[in-house]
Amino acid sequence: MGNQPDPNLIFGYQALAQVLGISPNNLHVRKHRKQLEIEPLYTIGRLAVFDRAAVLKYKARQTA
């Protein structure tokens, strides 16, 4: 098997911005203005890890 990343997880805010379809700068602004309702599952050092299913549900709510 090896060390394959879990496809159900999103690693880092840059990858999160890509999944949400917004710029990393816009994501940073939303995060600091408390407009981002997604919390990481956990962190590895400074790397935030997000649940892909929760992110996709959030994205669907934002576009609806």
pLDDT at 51: 98
Residue 42: its H or E element = strand 42-44
pLDDT in tens, 18-32: 999 999 999 999 999
Q: Decide: helix, strand or coil at residue 52.
A: helix
The structural domains of the chain, with segments of one domain joined by +, span 9-63
Contact assessment for residue 55 and residue 16, using Cβ atoms and an 8 Å cutoff: yes
pLDDT of residue 62: 86
Q: Give the residue-averaged pLDDT of 2-29.
A: 93
Distance in angstroms (rounded) separating the CA atoms of residues 30 and 24: 10
Q: For the segment 30-55, what is each residue's pLDDT rounded down to a tens digit?
A: 999 999 999 999 999 999 999 999 99
Identify the three-state secondary structure at position 14: helix
pLDDT the model gives residue 18: 97
